[in-house]
Amino acid sequence: MSDLQRLKQSEADVRKMLAEWRSNGTHEVQLPLSGRILQVRDVGVIDLALTGKIPNTMLDLVQQMKSGKLNEADMLKENAAEFSGLLNDVFKAAVVSPPVADIADDDHISVDEFVFGDKMALFNWVNREATILRPFRKESDEPVATAPSRKELRKTSK
């Protein structure tokens, strides 16, 4: 086998490995309103904000939603345009297949081809860990006491 053949084989192996690795990170999600099935990947809303894909002004609102302090209806009343942009950005970042973009073309479906309810469902899926924990959180206006240090724990255990 020539050096060129080995190089091409090596490049093909790397592509195959990357494709396999990426495919293991996707999930199949059925949207509730349209019934469409999408291949999606986990994305972090904070990660999207840090890369500039979500405005920092939306982070506080997202945190309030995750903690249950702000519901979707109030979010929409006060920040409809910004929240719509957030949903679109999260949707585009999460959906792997079919490819989604701002504007439809020969290779992409437009994000506007999906209804609000389906976008909201995917947003909730992306934030599913926070949503699962929401009922277990105790609402309190008082700050929570700090955990005891290791030394304090040792003293009490003796």
Tokens of 158: 């003796």
On whether the CB atoms of residues 111 and 88 are closer than 8 A, the answer is yes
Taken as a whole, the chain contains a residue count of 158
On whether the CB atoms of residues 126 and 94 are closer than 8 A, the answer is yes
Residue 42, in any domain of the structure:
yes
45 or 85: which carries more pLDDT confidence?
85
Residue 7, in any domain of the structure:
no
Instruction: Indicate the DSSP class of residue 92.
Output: H
Residue 150, in any domain of the structure:
no
- Whether the per-residue pLDDT at 136 is higher than 70: the answer is no
Number of domains into which the chain is organized: 1
| pLDDT tens-digit series, residues 6-56 | 777 788 888 888 777 766 778 899 999 999 999 998 887 777 777 777 666
Other beta carbons within 10 Å of 42: 13
SS3 state at 43: coil
Tell me, rounded to whole angstroms, the distance of Cα 132 from its chain centroid: 15
Residue 25, in any domain of the structure:
no
- Residues 57-80 have a mean pLDDT of 72
- Residues of the domain holding 112: 30-134
The packing angle between helices 72-94 and 56-67, to 10°, is: 110
pTM of the model: 0.61
